[in-house]
Amino acid sequence: MNTDPGAFIITADESDAGQRLDYVIASHLIQCSRTQAANLIRNGFIRLDNLVVKPAYRVRSGEKIQGRIPPSEPVDIIPEPIELDILYKDNHFIVINKPAGRVVHPAPGHETGTLVHGLLYHFPDLFCVGGRLRPGIVHRLDKDTSGCLVVALNDWAHQEISGLFKTRTVYKEYLALVHGIVTDNIGRIDRPIGRHPVDRKKMTVNGRHARSAQTNWRIVRRFPSATLIRLYLKTGRTHQIRVHLNALGHPVVGDRVYGPRRKVGPLEVSPGNRVRVPRQMLHARYLGFVHPASGKKVIFEAPIPKDMTEIIDALSSHLQPEASSFLHSR
Q: What is the CA radius of gyration of the chain?
A: 21
Homologous superfamily of 86-166 in CATH?
A: Pseudouridine synthase (3.30.2350.10)
The tens place of each residue's pLDDT in the chain, 330 residues long, gives 445 667 889 998 888 899 999 988 887 886 677 888 888 998 889 999 888 899 999 999 999 999 988 765 545 789 999 999 999 999 999 999 999 999 998 877 788 999 999 999 999 988 878 777 788 999 999 999 999 999 999 999 999 999 999 899 999 999 999 999 999 999 999 999 887 776 767 888 876 668 889 999 999 999 988 999 999 998 888 899 999 999 999 999 999 888 876 555 678 777 777 888 989 999 999 999 999 999 999 999 999 999 999 999 999 886 655 444 555 455
The span from the CA of 236 to the CA of 215, in Å, is 9
Q: How far apart are CA 272 and CA 266, in angstroms?
A: 11
Domain range summary for the chain, segments of one domain joined by +: 7-68, 86-166, 171-328
The CATH code of the domain at 171-328 is 3.30.2350.10
Among residues 271, 302, 283, the alpha carbon closest in space to that of 229 is found at 283
* Cα atoms found within 13 Å of the Cα of residue 229, Cβ hemisphere only: 29
Is the fold of 7-68 the same as that of 86-166?
no
Candidates 137, 100, 144, 146; CA nearest to 117 is 137
Catalytic residue check, 142: yes
Sheet holding 203-204, edge to edge: 203-204, 193-195, 208-211
Angle at 281 between CA 278 and CA 285, to 5 degrees: 130
- Asked if residues 3 and 58 have their Cβ atoms less than 8 Å apart, the reply is no
Of 76, 85, 125, 142, which is the active-site residue?
A: 142
Q: Concatenated DSSP letters for 154-188? A: SHHHHHHHHHHHHTT--EEEEEEEEES---SSEEE
Answer yes or no: are the C-beta atoms of 177 and 226 closer than 8 Å. yes
* Whole-number Å distance between alpha carbons of 210 and 195: 7
SS3 assignment for 225-290? CEEEEEEEECCCCCCHHHHHHHHCCCCECCCCCCCCHHHCCCEEEECCEEECCCCCCEEEEEEEEE
Query: What topology is assigned to 7-68 in CATH?
Result: 3.10.290
